[in-house]
Amino acid sequence: MSENNKQKAVLSVTEDIRAKILDGTYPEGMALSQVDIASAYQVSRTPVREALQILAGEELVEIRDTGRATVTTISPESFLEKCELRALIEVKLLELAIPLMGPEDIAKAREINESLKKCAPEEWTPLNYQFHEVLYKPANRPLMQNVIKDLHHRHYARLKSFILSHRNTPRSLREHDELIDRCERQDIEGACYALESHIMMSAYALAEQLKSQQLKRRQATKL
């Protein structure tokens, strides 16, 4: 296989396995056999090995000393840490964005929040990301914005169904309305406090529910 074809194979295998992990087709803890994957994609084990290394760097796959690869388990502690990181960055972005917000930014945020009030469940996650993105976009901090985008689209994607089934929708929408009002009044301190509370109160509740769910799963496997 030429170097060009090998890289194409690595990219194809990486993208497909990543998609299957993110949508839950490959659940956490599932073993990923290099032999089976190579056979399924009709490639050698070399591009499969490289693909798994890439996914390990994305924290989607764990590769042990034996070389055995499994889909990583999302620990409540890891989830909470990512929420803390998100809160730190988004609060700073909002602080920088509010003085630069115009009426069109506020209007767009209200429009998206109205869409959230009547959207289908599968539309919630992308719309919710758009809502937050609109509020901090005026800050014009592309590197920080990319970190937040990565957290949403890579790490939160794996918990999409869990978050959807456990979120408090009325409270989230009320908090969005309050956040928009504070931004419109140029209340930087109040808006930043509201945003941090909005992210972290939900995060603490979800982390506890995730911990409870995983405990029940472990107990069930012992029966």
Which residues have a Cβ under 8 Å from the Cβ of 79 and sit 6 or more positions away? 155, 159, 203, 206, 207, 210
| Residue pLDDT, tens place only, 58-100 | 888 999 888 889 998 888 888 899 899 999 999 999 999 999 9
Secondary element (H or E) of residue 208: helix 188-222
Is the CB of residue 179 less than 8 Å from the CB of residue 139?
no
pTM: 0.78
Check pLDDT > 60 for residue 152. Answer: yes
23-27, 132-136, 214-218, range with the lowest pLDDT: 214-218
pLDDT at residue 214 in the model: 75
pLDDT at residue 150 in the model: 85
CA angle 185, 198, 121 (to 5 degrees): 110
Distance CA 90, CA 104 (A): 20
Is the CB of residue 29 less than 8 Å from the CB of residue 71?
yes
Please state the rounded mean pLDDT for residues 197-212.
Answer: 88
Distance CA 167, CA 148 (A): 20
Ramachandran assignment for 141, one of left (phi > 0), alpha (psi -120 to 50 degrees), beta (any other): beta
